[in-house]
Chains A and B, each alone.
Chain A
Amino acid sequence: MSENRNYLKEIINNIKESNLRRVFTDPLGLFGFLLILFLVLIAIFAPYIAPYSSSDIDIANRLASPSSRHLFGTDNLGRDVFSRLVFGSRIALTVPILTISFGIILAIIFGLIAGYSSERVGNIFLVIFDIIKSFPALLFAMTVIALTGSNLFVLIIIIGITRFPAYARLIRAQTLRVKGKEYVIAAKAIGASIFKIMYKHILPNVIGPIFIQAAMDIPVVITFVAALSFLGLGVPPPTPSWGTMIKIGYSFIRIAPWMVIFGGIALVWATLGFTLFGEALRDNLDPRLNRQR
């Protein structure tokens, strides 16, 4: 009966049937969730947690080692590393979430069209998706940034574009599966517009797996942004970004290793959290995997 499966419903059912509990009883999933929760709380309450401003320069106090005054030491401009990491969590979380949301929006539009239109048109779309996907993401990002300069908006757009084909393929595949279903045919028969069919009848039935894919993608984007920042092409200063902190810290690694160490820990923290949680979600909620059970 797998032909008639409605994945979103199944996911919701899985959650309702307290399959979600399985995610949290899975020790790695719980651990991942706690890491993320902690990070989200830090990002939300950053101004209350950070003892100093993230941008106030205090040259006299540059490269101070960790102490009770500066828990994680100071950077090369005398700024508190702990405070910058705390504020940096906002960038670290918002960029991937906005990026992936943008990617999903693109994917929904193009994935639905590709899936719902004729096979030939669908194949053309597939080729386009594959071209975008096969283009080296970092190179693409570097080229665009070289032309436009770097800011948050540009980052979100370009990373979104490089990520969307994966989701779009997923949506197309799901759309193909449901477009011949009775309820779609019925909707067509009563004269529903194509947009209504896509939006009301197809979309809810194809969107489920995307969220799991998205959760798995967040750490990839976090490290991607960090890599760009490390190359000096990420978020412009003085906005604290973990990647930039690691990059600047690298040139002081022999005399002030705390910038790289704590920046690295923060990065590992976030990627580990999202990876573990994403995997737990997939293992426990993805109906495509339920087949084996």
Chain B
Amino acid sequence: MKISKSLLKRGLLLVLVMALVFSSGIVVYGAGDEVVKSRMRLGEDIENLDPAHLVRGYDIALALYNKLLKYKPGSSELVNDAAEEFNVSDDGKVITFKLKEGIMFHKGYGEMTAEDVKFSFERIIDPEQNSEYAADWQTLDHVEITGKYSGKIILTEPLASLLVTTIPFTPGSIISKKAYEELGNKFATNPIGSGPYYMEKWVPEQELILGRFEDYFGQKPNIEQIELYPIGDKNISEMNFDKGDLDVTEISLDSIDRYESDSDVDVHILSTLKYGFIGFNHKYAPFDNINVRKALRYAIDVDMIINGAYSGVPKRANAMIAPGILGHWEDAPQYDVNLEKARELLEKAGYPDGFEVEMISTSNPLYMNTSQIVKENLRKIGIEVNIKLIETSAWYEYVGKESHPIMFFETFSLTLDPGYWVEWFTTDQVGKWNFLKWSNSRYDELADKAAVTMDLEKREEMYIEMQKIMDEEAAIIWITNGAKAYVSNKRVDPVFLGHYNQYRYWKIVE
């Protein structure tokens, strides 16, 4: 019995590790002589806080670094951050900027100059850096210094996403050149920026403490210290929150009701930038038949999936791009369940008695639940769905690279730039991330064109047309853009950066 106990324990641990989510928040404690502190949950411990390589802990990066531009909290409006002046030339190829004077770096690394900006941006396209963000700066040629505080960003081609997801986000973070040259690889865990907080202490897997940067050039936040605890499991962080050990945390969507009845707690429900969808491999029968796909669209109960697998919290999505993002298709048709029509379409497709099909799922409850609902839905029109469980990394091999006549549920995490949303269904991505193996030349053409179109209205039209193409071809079944929920004490007023699923804004009195 010893063996089995340790097996279960190991299993539990693995699940704990797997259930990681980002989350954090802010609290103000006490007054007078006490240090004003906040305690938050950090879903997963950090690995690398260098903005050229940072792929988790985006919210920490927001506190550590400044960019030329930033988003206003809760909106998609851009305002100056480190930049005093910021202009884009008419052809979109030259960006001139002038830094504010007197922006200081943490820990005595001096004042921010155009030299630091040049270093920070050019470093990301340096092949030697092998940065995760190289594609975000793909058309950067070089940064020209024109004065101590001013410079020009020279591009080979205009890039529409530059002002959406590059300059105001992680790859636009400005680091201290001097510090990086001194610290080298150690910079990853000793980050030097100019943001409202500096990294005071990091004990791996225990805690990460951010201290308020007293020489911050903007208005100083009222919280002097932020303590972050890596807690993977939402159940555990909810317990910590209930005990008072945490002041803000992400919670599971099913806990919303319980916290909403508590008058000492604020519940924040945020829409996420994701899409969840049911996909099928278009290369194989029966999914190569448009009538089959249309039948599935009438048979799969999207509202049931949202209620059953998403706890009924997020809104239904009828097209790819979420509201608030350029290219959102407001008037996309909604296909409500109509079994009659579904059966007709199946008959038209030559499958009057339905067929049998494999649906691939990982052990993630969201995936398992969705698959089971789809199985129930499709049984009603004679389609027998066999759910095949597969381990996550094998899932990507199976669904992405290899080709099998299967259907599946999947979610993608996205950014504020619509180009990033549409990219995954282009022909180039077949064999990589285009799990549908769907291919449409008009769609590809529009994707390429929209990426370099600076006129927002024209760009929007193109993205909407792309979604219309997918709709006409019944290429995919959209479920939702998702939601996540946080709780905070009444004493706390966390500000979440609007519309970016993993980002939130530090409460800075502005």
- A230 within 8 Å of B by Cβ? yes
User: Which B residues lie within 8 Å of A145 (CB)?
Assistant: 391
Chain B residues numbered 356-407 whose CB sits less than 8 Å from any CB in chain A: 361-365, 368-369, 371-373, 375-376, 386-391, 393-394
- B491 within 8 Å of A by Cβ? no
Chain B residues numbered 1-24 whose CB sits less than 8 Å from any CB in chain A: 1, 3-5, 7-8, 10-12, 14-15, 19
Contact string against B for A residues 206-247, beta-carbon threshold 8 Å, 1 for contact and 0 otherwise: 000000000000011001101100111110111000000001
| 25 sampled A-B residue pairs with Cβ under 8 A | A60-B307, A76-B308, A76-B365, A145-B391, A149-B388, A149-B390, A150-B388, A151-B388, A219-B4, A220-B1, A220-B3, A224-B4, A227-B10, A230-B12, A230-B15, A231-B14, A232-B368, A236-B388, A237-B361, A237-B372, A237-B387, A247-B363, A254-B258, A255-B254, A271-B1
- Within the assembled complex, what's the spacing in Å between the Cα atoms of A256 and B235? 12
- B255 within 8 Å of A by Cβ? yes
- B238 within 8 Å of A by Cβ? yes
User: Which B residues lie within 8 Å of A147 (CB)?
Assistant: 394
**A233 and B7 within 8 A (CB):** no
| Main secondary structure on B side of the interface with A | helix
Q: Which 7 A-B pairs have the closest CB atoms?
A: A232-B363, A223-B4, A146-B391, A227-B7, A59-B308, A230-B11, A236-B389
**B389 and A237 within 8 A (CB):** yes
- Within the assembled complex, what's the spacing in Å between the Cα atoms of A106 and B234? 44
User: Which A residues lie within 8 Å of B390 (CB)?
Assistant: 146, 149-150
- B368's partner among A138, A142, A226, A237 (CB-CB below 8 A) is A237
- A275 within 8 Å of B by Cβ? yes
- A252 within 8 Å of B by Cβ? yes
- B252 within 8 Å of A by Cβ? yes
User: Which B residues lie within 8 Å of A252 (CB)?
Assistant: 252, 254
A224 in contact with B7 given A232-B362, A247-B363 (CB within 8 Å): yes
- B365's partner among A63, A219, A251, A271 (CB-CB below 8 A) is A251
Apart from A59-B304, A254-B238, what are 14 other A-B pairs with CB-CB below 8 Å? A57-B376, A76-B365, A142-B391, A149-B389, A150-B389, A150-B390, A220-B4, A223-B4, A233-B391, A238-B372, A252-B252, A254-B258, A255-B254, A275-B1
Which residue of chain B has the shortest Cβ distance to A221 in the bound complex?
Answer: B4
**B7 and A223 within 8 A (CB):** yes
* Chain A residue total in the interface (Cβ 8 A): 43
- B11's partner among A227, A248, A256 (CB-CB below 8 A) is A227
Chain B residues numbered 386-431 whose CB sits less than 8 Å from any CB in chain A: 386-391, 393-394
Contact string against B for A residues 46-87, beta-carbon threshold 8 Å, 1 for contact and 0 otherwise: 000000000111011011000000000000111000000000
User: Which A residues lie within 8 Å of B304 (CB)?
Assistant: 57, 59
Which residue of chain B has the shortest Cβ distance to A222 in the bound complex?
Answer: B4
- Within the assembled complex, what's the spacing in Å between the Cα atoms of A145 and B304? 30
A251 in contact with B1 given A146-B391, A232-B363, A237-B389 (CB within 8 Å): no
A residues adjacent to B (C-beta < 8 A): 55-57, 59-60, 62-63, 76-78, 138, 142, 145-147, 149-151, 219-220, 223-224, 226-227, 230-234, 236-238, 247-248, 250-256, 271, 275
User: Which A residues lie within 8 Å of B239 (CB)?
Assistant: 254
A227 in contact with B391 given A237-B372, A238-B375 (CB within 8 Å): no
**A63 and B393 within 8 A (CB):** no
